[in-house]
Structure 1
Amino acid sequence: MPKRTIVIAGAGVFGTALAQRLSWNEDNAITLYTIEEDVIADINTKHQNSKYFPGRHIHSDIVATGDIRCTYQADMLFLAIPSKAIEPFCKGIYDYTRKDIRIVNLSKGLAEDGSFLIEQIPFSHTGSLKGPTFAVEVMNGDPSGMTFGGSVEDYTVLQGVMQDTGITLDYSHDIRAVEFLSVLKNMYAIAIGIVSGRYNSPNVDFLVMTKSVNEMRKMLKLYGCDEETIFNYCGLGDLGLTALNDLSRNRTLGLLIGKGFSNDPKSTTVIEGLRTIKLLGELVRSKGLERQFVVLEALYALLYSGASLNDYYVTVLA
């Protein structure tokens, strides 16, 4: 039986870690696509990616390439590239790939106009894979859980690809909800990090976390998404990982703000949550929903409307 042809676009930390785990399944033939020539040479000659995982061995069957034609006959294509690259990348390969190719989006964020990334992917078989997974732990082989959003047919195929990898999947029919939760959890992780920066108290953390979960459900409803998706790995699981673990960039930003070191969004442009706060904060204000989204409104006021840290604490802890 021929192996499945799996291509992962993006050989950064998560793309590399996922390739390593998928290599555990002997039915997968894995290619990492990247524009980084030093990474390609490193993987193909030394079986390592020293730029992102120094000192770690990469399975010798994993091949890296900068030739986009590797996608043309792929059975499944994982997108682990920056969110702003999703649309041009997909449009660039669309006319050349198999029409039954299955696309799995790993990237997180919203498009510049506030739409979901998944809406920029023109393929028929498209899904979203999100969950509480730090790349280093995926690379280490730790058991992990992720949610697939998409069709049952594509989910069944993905289960075969993930077999024997130690990654457990759950399912949601609502691909938009899976995409949206991966964005929402980043901004609420910042919110929880801010209170952790001052109080260092589990009581306070979970007070704000509970409020955050309720607001995430309301935001799903506002966008016409399935609220129940919050109980999947991509919901509560990913929020807990991102909000309560110091490996999280968004929690770290919150901690710094809470300790008074920074509240300037311009200095933290790499953090996905900030643009979401601005976008959704403006949406909430435009609809007069500030009282329904107290944590989000407090975050927006702190970062973009000149409110003080004390104002923030008074609002979210009330």
Structure 2
Amino acid sequence: MNFKNLTILGSGSWGTALAQAFADKFESVFVWGRNQEVIEDINQNHLNSKYLPGLILKENIQGTTDIKFAFDKGDIIIVAVPTQFIRQTLQHIDYPVEKPVISASKGIEIESLKLISDVIAETIKIDKKRIFALSGPSFAKEVAAGLPTAVTLAGDLELGEKLQSILNTESFRLYLNKDIIGVQIGGAVKNVIAIATGASDGLGLGNNARAGLITRGLYEMTRVAKVFGGKPETLYGLSGMGDLVLTATGDLSRNRTFGKLLGKGLSVEKALQEVGQVVEGIKTVKALRKIMEKENIELPISDVVYRVVYENLSPVEAVKILMNRQPKKEEL
């Protein structure tokens, strides 16, 4: 299998960062996006001023708004569009796909409660062994700058080893894992927990509260993984604990920033305006609420995040609810 060209679906900060990170490993990298101005900026100025200002893109990166052209050109496809738009993005590909498709997006489709790998399998004609998930602690800005990053690539191990060999760089290291379900759950749920830790910090509740939320948040991630058939131990790795710690504590996190603004008293609408980009946790928590009801499981942190975002519960009241829950044994 010859991997000369790479295609990234998604011209936001994450898609652009991945294009930059992998550019030296391919003859050409094609970045697809809907925003004509962003694509023109990539092609004419070697910049993505809207999402990664100041970063000079490598010469072999080119943008396009033609989804079929982009899909045809790439020998490997990386999906980096917001989760809720993946199905409608891929529905334009109406022919058999015999190349690896890697999801680098994080979330759960709200309507179907399906993981991205399942959405991909349903939307395009592809052998499931060709579908992978890329997830882990990886802020786009740092990846684009070439700072050391370690993530998980999940899926079929045989093809995965080839992809790992191709995509590994001096600054971007991939670890293989066959638990594609657990890896995707970690990437999705950690965004919700990061909103909670951000709100806690915005309220000035201190380091103890943040550590408690992260630890109990990890437990919620393992509960959701079990529901989907993933392995709880997967959540102790890069795509679980690693990504959770980064997103829940790092100031580059959109989800944490959004939560912090809520904690400081901003409304949901004003906090979103302030962040200025997609906050995936807002969508994921809707899916988690549906999962809680469908599976009759308790996810206390996710539940109060949902109520803060969608039911006008104040962050202060959310803290009281969590702290006054019935005493329990610690479950791991």
TM (normalized to structure 2)?
0.84
Partner secondary structure for residue 193 of structure 2: helix
Name structure 1 gaps, 5 residues minimum.
none
Change (3 A) 1:272 1:54: closer
* One-letter amino acid matched to 2:319: Y
In 2, are the aligned partners of 1:24 and 1:165 still within 8 Å (CA)? no
- Matches of 1:284 and 1:78 in 2, distance apart? 30
In 2, are the aligned partners of 1:145 and 1:168 still within 8 Å (CA)? yes
> What is the aligned partner in structure 2 of residue 126 from structure 1?
131
> What is the aligned partner in structure 2 of residue 5 from structure 1?
5
- Matches of 1:61 and 1:76 in 2, distance apart? 16
The yes-or-no answer on 1:23 pairing with 2:18 is: no
> What is the aligned partner in structure 1 of residue 284 from structure 2?
276
> What is the aligned partner in structure 2 of residue 296 from structure 1?
302
Farther off after superposition, 12-21 or 307-316: 307-316
In 1, are the aligned partners of 2:135 and 2:151 still within 8 Å (CA)? yes
- Matches of 2:50 and 2:182 in 1, distance apart? 33
In 2, are the aligned partners of 1:83 and 1:107 still within 8 Å (CA)? yes
> What is the aligned partner in structure 1 of residue 106 from structure 2?
108
Partner secondary structure for residue 171 of structure 1: strand
> What is the aligned partner in structure 2 of residue 148 from structure 1?
153
Change (3 A) 1:308 1:140: closer
How far 1:151 sits from its partner (Å)?
Answer: 0.5
Aligned runs of 1:27-176 on 2, under 5 Å? 27-67=26-66, 68-95=68-95, 99-111=97-109, 112-122=111-121, 123-124=126-127, 125-176=130-181
The number of equivalent residue pairs is 313
- Matches of 1:279 and 1:35 in 2, distance apart? 25
- Matches of 1:287 and 1:66 in 2, distance apart? 40
> What is the aligned partner in structure 1 of residue 219 from structure 2?
214
How far 1:28 sits from its partner (Å)?
Answer: 4.5
- Matches of 1:196 and 1:225 in 2, distance apart? 31
- Matches of 1:3 and 1:39 in 2, distance apart? 26
In 1, are the aligned partners of 2:202 and 2:264 still within 8 Å (CA)? yes
Partner secondary structure for residue 24 of structure 2: coil
In 2, are the aligned partners of 1:28 and 1:161 still within 8 Å (CA)? no
> What do the CA deviations read for 1:273-304 (whole angstroms, capped 9, x no partner)?
123323323432455433xx332333344444
- Matches of 1:150 and 1:214 in 2, distance apart? 23
TM (normalized to structure 1)?
0.88
In 1, are the aligned partners of 2:4 and 2:27 still within 8 Å (CA)? yes
- Matches of 1:60 and 1:230 in 2, distance apart? 37
Farther off after superposition, 162-171 or 204-213: 162-171
In 1, are the aligned partners of 2:79 and 2:101 still within 8 Å (CA)? yes
How far 1:145 sits from its partner (Å)?
Answer: 1.3
Partner secondary structure for residue 104 of structure 1: strand
- Matches of 2:296 and 2:63 in 1, distance apart? 50
In 2, are the aligned partners of 1:185 and 1:238 still within 8 Å (CA)? yes
* One-letter amino acid matched to 1:51: K
The yes-or-no answer on 1:250 pairing with 2:248 is: no
Q: What do you get for the CA RMSD once the two structures are aligned?
A: 2.6
Partner secondary structure for residue 100 of structure 1: coil
Change (3 A) 1:316 1:74: same
Partner secondary structure for residue 176 of structure 2: strand
How far 1:236 sits from its partner (Å)?
Answer: 0.7
> What do the CA deviations read for 1:28-55 (whole angstroms, capped 9, x no partner)?
5322223333333333333222333333
Partner secondary structure for residue 50 of structure 2: coil
